[in-house]
Chains A and B, each alone.
Chain A
Amino acid sequence: MWMTNYLQQFLFKWKFAVLILVLTAAMIAGFSCWVNRYLPKYAHAYCNLIGQQLSEKFSFGEIHYGFPNRLILKNVQVLPLGKGTPMLKISRMVMGLSLPLSSSGPAINYVALNDATIDFALLKDYWDEHRPSLYAWARTLPQSNLRFFLPDGQIYLKSKTRDPNHFKIYVDLKQDHVLAHGTWDDKKKYDYVLSGNLIDHGFNLTKLTITEGESSINLWGQWQNNNIDWKGFILYKQIYILDISGHLNIRDTAIVLKDLSFSVNGDDVDLTGQCSKQKFFQCTADLTVSRQKKHLTAQMPVKDISFHLESQNTPQGPFFNGQADLKFLFKANPSFAIPHARLSFKNLKGRIINASLLQLRMDRLEAAWSGPDEHQVLAEDLLAGIHLTGNSHATITLSTRLYAGHYRSRFFLDTTSLPWQIVAQGQFEDIDINRIKDTLPFFRSYHGLLSGNVDLQSLKNMKLRGALLIRHGNFNDPHFLPWVARTLQMPTLEHLSAAEMSCHFSMDGLSKKIDDLHLQTDDMDLKGSFHLDEEDFVSSRLAVRFSKALLSESPMGRSIIGMVQEAWTLPFEFRLSGNLYRMNFQWDHSPLKDKVRQHMFAFVERMIDRRADANPYTAPQSPAFKVPGP
């Protein structure tokens, strides 16, 4: 009995519970159906309203209500007005609303997006155009804690023909505290974490860390009112950028970088500058680099660098003017005796052709350096292309007008490790020698046009090759002529005018070579080679034919004319060697020498040799020179 009563009572309770459950489900289903019936209409109207406020078209394929507080939208698209391409596409968007719903509108608890695609160029244009109205609209939204998830976003940064970058975002906004983390895939995978607090009129960044492998960027600081202060450090491969300290001030008309200081592997860097807020790219900046003494090497003896940059925004685009001052510690490289150099450029314009190609154009590039003398190189109408061919490699092509001629070159840069490796090949054509005499004193004796090649392999191994062609040139004291003049006692040779000269020349490091030399005047015809090694040791073979008049000028020449019929038709062949400033001389075997020897006694030959030694220009240092015996 008791059992029956209990079962009846229990069954009744169950029936009651099921009934309540069914009724509740029916109510929820009914409520959901009612909401789902009117929701699209309401949502479309709301989207249109937002679209009008924000100058965009917000559309979706489907919208569903999920009990109790979820809205699920599918195939969402956001298009800027007047554009046919969406700047944002989302396959599925779930929004969680806070309960109870407030009168001011639904506060959103969380937003989860799936398969979102962003067209960055369109989004950026839209943002630039409608930033104020977007801020105003955001302020009308009810404040609440918010979580945002985007686990599989993709963004087209440049063009839809290229693969998109993939990214993940997780944001947790709890009262004033913001925590965001995620990843960014751009061939390499970057992880980021950001945390901070919203404060009065600003943001306190407690941590921003971006890591990729063993490299990382770590920053922290504060943005309050118009001032941004930040500190941090960056570790990238073997580059340590430490003690970062920056202070930025945002004014009505300009953004001012009051000071940004940091050290790069111990070398101190300071940067100041400002940019106009009205005119984008209207900036000035000053950069100074002070390198540690222990970092100065023979390849890189730059001690201090000061760099000043100005940019101007014009209808043709931004232009840059700049000047760099470099101070060298030439004790690091004794052969590099340049204490100071200056590089300035005018009207530099850059153009990004694509992600891996940058084109630079400038009206004028001037390099000046001071050594024992002041030197200056001026290039005009310079065009350069910087082509990134990998993470650590670049090809730079250069073309410019140079001293009435033209210079073209190609540099290959490898930044895999320090010091950077440079390989360069260049050609110059029709350079006016008159205009480079001050820069290259070697050419002071010459007039004419210069053409040739320049090969550079790293900074320590510079090679220069070329051909020199001079017409109606004047020669004052080129290295070998005074020697010949004084040894053969032909003063006329110390200065040549109206000479024709051609040769191939090359410089490899400190060694220099002149080959296929042909120097011709009315009185002289000289052929041969002249090599100078890195220690200024000469190796030269020359054959010179003198006119009868010139040969008659020399006592030795007159003797030869007396001995050999038409001696002026035969070349005088000789060799030079040894120290550039104390060259040894040898009259080589030749038809002329053989003919002269036929007319000579041995004692006369010895006498002439002694006279040659006694010539003040060839006198040996030791007066005790004796042949032979102690």
Chain B
Amino acid sequence: MKLYVAMMTLLLQGCVLIPCARASEADVKWNEAVQSAKQGDNDFAFMDFQSIVQNYPDSHFSMLAQFAQGEYYFLQNNLQMASEVFARFNAQYPKREESLIALAYLFKIAQIQKDPQAVNKYHAMVASFNQLAFVFNESKSFSFLSGFGHRHKLSFSIDKVELYVDDKLFTTVPF
């Protein structure tokens, strides 16, 4: 009987501890990726982000890593892949404010690719994302630091959303 209790205890501890170990692995991977990005090794950083998405999909870093993948493709000027990753990101996290940043990227890519249908589609999605009320304030903002260390800031006003990347205006979506 004691033996059974001891085995069950060990089994339960294993069930609890293994995810913790995996979570810490994701944490380590994330730190490695961010460190690579800081050192300018974007390709290594991308490999680490990809590894997080594939191996730790339930980790809270998975969302950030996915966004970083899209960002990497965009910085590499691989607009097609960037578009696919950001669209997938938006589908997977439709209610996260980061999704609006992904949509702003998609809007910008559609503008660069001169695809009017896609421009209209993402314009409508951005404009319908939030319903905003400005009683006393005339703007609201949301900030997000990406895996590659770029500070993204969404600035909302009554008739437009602006996305700033590292304090530079990246794109404006009027509505």
Q: Using CB atoms and an 8 Å cutoff, list the residues of chain A in contact with chain B.
A: 487, 535, 537, 539, 575, 577-579, 582-587, 593, 597, 600, 605-606, 608-609, 612-613, 615, 618-630
| Interchain CB contact (< 8 A) of B143 among A487, A575, A579, A628 | A628
Told that A586-B157, A625-B130 touch, could you supply 5 new A-B pairs with CB distance under 8 A?
A: A537-B175, A584-B131, A586-B138, A605-B135, A628-B153
Q: Cβ of A605: which chain B residues have Cβ within 8 Å of it?
A: 135-137
B92 at interface by CB-CB < 8 Å: no
Interface contact B136-A624, CB-CB below 8 Å: no
| Residue B32 interfacial (CB < 8 Å) | no
Contact A597 B141 (CB under 8 A): no
Q: Which of A487, A577, A622 contacts B175 (CB 8 A)?
A: A577
Instruction: Kindly provide the distance from the CB of B83 to the nearest chain A CB, expressed in whole angstroms.
Output: 21
Asked if residues A630 and B132 are in contact (CB atoms below 8 Å), the reply is no
B interface residues, Cβ below 8 angstroms from A: 95-97, 99-100, 120, 123-124, 127-138, 140-145, 153, 157-159, 175
Known: A535-B120, A535-B124. A627 touches B132 (CB 8 A): no
Knowing A539-B159, A608-B135 touch, does A621 contact B130 (C-beta < 8 A)? yes
Given the complex of chains A and B, what is the CA–CA distance between A584 and B129 in angstroms?
11
Which chain B residues border A593 with CB–CB below 8 Å?
Answer: 136
Q: In the docked arrangement, what's the CA distance between A379 and B138, Å?
A: 51
Q: Is the CB of B141 within 8 A of A628?
A: yes
Which residues on the B side are within 8 Å of A585 (C-beta)? Answer: 132-135, 158
Interface of A is mostly: mixed
Q: Are B136 and A578 in contact (CB under 8 A)?
A: no
Chain A residues positioned under 8 Å from B138 (CB to CB):
586
- Tell me the smallest distance from the CB of A142 to a CB of chain B, in Å: 81
| Bound: A575/B158 CA distance, A | 8
For the complex, what is the distance from the CA of A381 to the CA of B51, rounded to whole Å? Answer: 78
With both chains docked as a complex, state the minimum distance between the C-beta of B22 and any C-beta of chain A, in angstroms. Answer: 23
**Contact (Cβ within 8 A) A624 B96:** yes
**Closest residue of B by beta carbon distance from A583:** B131
Within 8 Å by CB of A620, from B96, B120, B130, lies B130
Q: How far is the CA of A537 from the CA of B158 in the complex (A)?
A: 12
Residues of chain A within 8 A (CB-CB) of B158 are 575, 577, 584-586
Q: Which residues of B contact A578 (CB under 8 A)?
A: 127-128, 131-132, 159, 175
CB distance from A597 to the nearest CB of B (A): 7
Nearest Cβ on chain A to B144's Cβ, whole angstroms: 5
Most buried by B among A487, A584, A593, A627: A584
A584 touching B97, Cβ below 8 Å: no
Residue pair A630, B144 in contact (C-beta under 8 Å): yes
Asked if B95 and A622 make an inter-chain contact with CB atoms under 8 angstroms apart, the answer reads yes
B97 contacts A625, CB within 8 Å?
Answer: yes
Query: Cα distance A535–B128 when bound, in Å?
Result: 12
With A578-B175, A628-B141 as contacts: A620 and B132 at CB distance below 8 Å: yes
Min CB distance B167 to A, Å, is 14
> Measured between C-beta atoms, what is the minimum distance from B108 to chain A in Å?
19
Complex CA distance for A608 and B123, rounded to whole angstroms: 29
Q: How far is the CA of A621 from the CA of B132 in the complex (A)?
A: 10
* Cross-chain pairs A/B with CB under 8 angstroms, 8 sampled: A585-B134, A605-B135, A618-B131, A620-B130, A622-B95, A624-B95, A625-B130, A628-B141
Cβ of A537 and Cβ of B127 under 8 Å apart? yes
Contact in complex: B136, A587 (CB < 8 Å)? yes
Complex CA–CA separation, A630 to B158 (angstroms): 22
Taking a contact as CB atoms under 8 Å apart, the answer to whether A626 and B175 are in contact is no
Q: How far is the CA of A612 from the CA of B135 in the complex (A)?
A: 7
How distant is A540 from chain B, measured CB to nearest CB, in Å? 10
Q: What's the least CB distance linking A595 to chain B, in Å?
A: 13
A627 in contact with B175 given A585-B134, A613-B133 (CB within 8 Å): no
Residues of A within 8 A of B159 (CB): 539, 575, 577-578, 584
> Quick check: B130 and A622 within 8 Å, CB to CB?
yes
A594 to B59, CA, bound (A): 48
A629 to B127, CA, bound (A): 22
Distance in Å: Cβ of A543 to nearest Cβ of chain B: 15
A361 to B100, CA, bound (A): 60
Q: What distance in Å separates the Cβ of A616 from its nearest Cβ neighbour in chain B?
A: 10
A619: nearest residue on chain B (CB-CB)? B131
How far is A120 from B110 in the complex, measured between Cα atoms in Å?
A: 69
Chain A residue nearest to B156 (CB atoms) is A584
B141 to chain A, nearest CB (A): 5
Instruction: Give the distance to chain B from A276, nearest Cβ to Cβ, in Å.
Output: 58
A626 to B130, alpha carbons, bound, how many Å? 12
Measured CB to CB, the closest approach of chain A to B127, in angstroms, equals 5
In the complex, residue of chain A having the shortest beta-carbon distance to the beta carbon of B157: A586
Query: Closest approach, in angstroms, between the C-beta of A272 and any C-beta of chain B?
Result: 46
Complex Cα distance, B133 from A613, in Å, reads 6
Whether A608 contacts B130 in the complex (CB less than 8 A), given A626-B142, A630-B145, comes out as no
Contact B131 A621 (CB under 8 A): yes
- Is the pair A629, B132 in contact by a Cβ cutoff of 8 Å? no
Q: How far is the CB of A86 from chain B (nearest CB, A)?
A: 71
> Which 10 pairs show the lowest CB-CB distances between chains A and B?
A612-B133, A605-B136, A586-B158, A586-B134, A620-B130, A582-B131, A584-B132, A579-B128, A577-B159, A618-B133
- Complex formed: what's the CA distance from A582 to B142 in Å? 20
Question: What residues of B have a CB within 8 angstroms of the CB of A587 in the complex?
Answer: 134-136
A262-B132 Cα distance, complex, nearest whole Å: 61
How far apart are A551's CB and chain B's nearest CB, in angstroms?
16
Please indicate the chain A residues that have their CB under 8 angstroms from the CB of B131 in the complex.
578-579, 582-584, 618-621
Q: How far is the CB of A529 from chain B (nearest CB, A)?
A: 14
Bound-state CA distance A625–B133 (Å) is 13
- By a CB distance below 8 angstroms, the chain A residues around B157 are 586
Given known A535-B120, A586-B158, contact A625–B135 (CB-CB < 8 A): no
Whether the Cβ atoms of B135 and A628 lie closer than 8 Å is no
